[in-house]
Chain A
Amino acid sequence: MPAPTAPDPGEVPDSDLVKRCQAGDTRAFDALVTRYRGKVYAMTYHMIQNETEAWDLSQEAFIKAWRALPQFKLDSSFYTWLYRITHNVTYDWLRKKKIQGDGEFDDSHTEHRVAAGAETVPHGDPAPDVAMKRMELGERIRDAIAQLSPDHRQVILLREVDGLAYEEIAEVVPCSLGTVMSRLFYARKKLQELLKDAYENAD
């Protein structure tokens, strides 16, 4: 089970760096950026599956974090707080682009992936659904994740990929613990349904 990163022994704790940031030390913030950029980028990338936009959104999340740091009271861990900002930035982006939900974005994305798989087989060969089954498992998983609604996608990623506890997820999203559990349950069931034949076709 993945666990949230704990600083290595000897590494400056997040809380110390945060306090230095709050005193205006931009080098301390640079250290925090370096520590969490790979995680924030992975989170945004898994959410929107576009490298360039994920890069920009990750940067936006850190800029917003810098602006908000004076108000951060260290009443939660820095990474949970940062994930919350990342979550907001990603959702704002999805909202702005009007691709939230199960509609246009997800359908087009799926069709795009199927078409890409289908192009690898000659005409007259298996139909796109068969080509999709042949897709590599990782691609199937990314595709299935993209078909979840952003709410379900976010929760399953925070739990399975980032290893956040329910209380932390509830704080990031934010929502109740019951909602976290319901969303996790639904997301897993949906993924099971979408990937039900994946393992037997896995490479």
Chain B
Amino acid sequence: MKTPTEDHDLIRWLDGEMTAAERERFAARLESDPVLKADAEALLQLGAALRAHLPGEMPLPHADFFNSQIQVRIAQEDEPARSGAPSRGRWLEWFRLPSFATALAAAAAVVIAGVMIWQQDETGESMVLSTYTPNPGVQARAFHSQEAQATVLMLDGLEAMPADHKIVGYHIQHSEREQDVATTLYGERGEVVLVVSEDSHHQPRLLSVSTQP
């Protein structure tokens, strides 16, 4: 049985954390101890496999949108005192871009956030501040309808729901959070209708108990 110090020697050698003198002494040990040498070689092989298969840097999906949304959130946290905000139509155009993965969007983000904050303060309307559609075939565009006095988030490019698919509607009046892991939804008569939870990959799990008449 090796001592913790010996274990630490091995990993310090592996990780290049030894001084030159320590390395020299450890190299001599390796030559005289075939078991230790085999162990060291196996761990070197493991390290190489990890580095080969787990990249230290990965391309970020929607990278420009990632940056621009950060800029929007930063601007939201700053003081909203921005004068001379551009006209309202400008930021709406941003949302209409086919994808947010454009350098223009990133560059315009601060201005956009400024407009949004200005608009929030002035109008008292609901606002869509940012959107992200994981499916690149789907585009989101947001606008405010003065006539309807509503904010609209339009999703273009969605696959149609099959015509023969039956949609069962619920009438949920109340919910209870259970043990921090699931939400129970109750209907009009206090009956349990659904239990909603998330799995470890954060996919929702909906378990229906009864259907509405």
**Residues on A close to B: CB < 8 A?**
1-2, 26, 29-30, 33-34, 37-39, 41-42, 45-46, 50-53, 55, 58-59, 62-63, 66-67, 97-99, 104-105, 108-109, 112, 137-138, 141-142, 145, 156-157, 159-163, 165-166, 178, 181-182, 184-185, 188, 191-192, 195, 198-199
Interface residues of B in 54-106 (CB under 8 A from A): 54-63, 66-67, 69-71, 73-75, 77, 106
Candidates B15, B180, B200; contact of A109 at CB < 8 Å = B200
Are the CB atoms of A142 and B54 closer together than 8 Å?
yes
Are the CB atoms of A52 and B202 closer together than 8 Å?
yes
Shortest Cβ distance from A107 into chain B, in angstroms?
A: 9
Are the CB atoms of B16 and A181 closer together than 8 Å?
no
Candidates B12, B57, B66, B77; contact of A39 at CB < 8 Å = B57
Query: Could you pull out 15 A-B pairs where Cβ atoms are within 8 angstroms?
Result: A2-B51, A26-B74, A37-B63, A42-B54, A42-B55, A50-B202, A58-B60, A58-B66, A66-B74, A108-B200, A142-B53, A160-B50, A166-B12, A185-B10, A192-B46
Residues of A within 8 A of B16 (CB): 1
Interface of A is mostly: helix
Known contacts A37-B63, A98-B180: A163-B56 contact under CB 8 Å: yes
Shortest Cβ distance from B136 into chain A, in angstroms?
A: 13
Are the CB atoms of A98 and B202 closer together than 8 Å?
no
Known contacts A52-B202, A59-B66, A63-B74: A160-B57 contact under CB 8 Å: no
Are the CB atoms of B71 and A30 closer together than 8 Å?
yes
Are the CB atoms of B43 and A188 closer together than 8 Å?
yes
Shortest Cβ distance from B190 into chain A, in angstroms?
A: 29
Are the CB atoms of A195 and B71 closer together than 8 Å?
no
Known contacts A37-B67, A38-B57, A145-B54: A99-B200 contact under CB 8 Å: yes
Residues of B within 8 A of A109 (CB): 200
Residue of A nearest to B10 (CB): A185
Are the CB atoms of B60 and A55 closer together than 8 Å?
yes
Are the CB atoms of B202 and A104 closer together than 8 Å?
no
Known contacts A59-B70, A141-B50: A162-B56 contact under CB 8 Å: yes
Are the CB atoms of A34 and B67 closer together than 8 Å?
yes
Docked pose: A145 CA to B12 CA in angstroms: 21
Residues of B within 8 A of A178 (CB): 8
Interface size class of B (residues with CB under 8 A): 35 or more
Candidates B57, B70, B106; contact of A42 at CB < 8 Å = B57
Residues of A within 8 A of B163 (CB): none
Shortest Cβ distance from A105 into chain B, in angstroms?
A: 5
Are the CB atoms of B46 and A42 closer together than 8 Å?
no
Residue of B nearest to A39 (CB): B57
Are the CB atoms of A41 and B60 closer together than 8 Å?
yes
Candidates B8, B43, B54; contact of A157 at CB < 8 Å = B54
Residues of A within 8 A of B180 (CB): 98
Docked pose: A59 CA to B61 CA in angstroms: 12
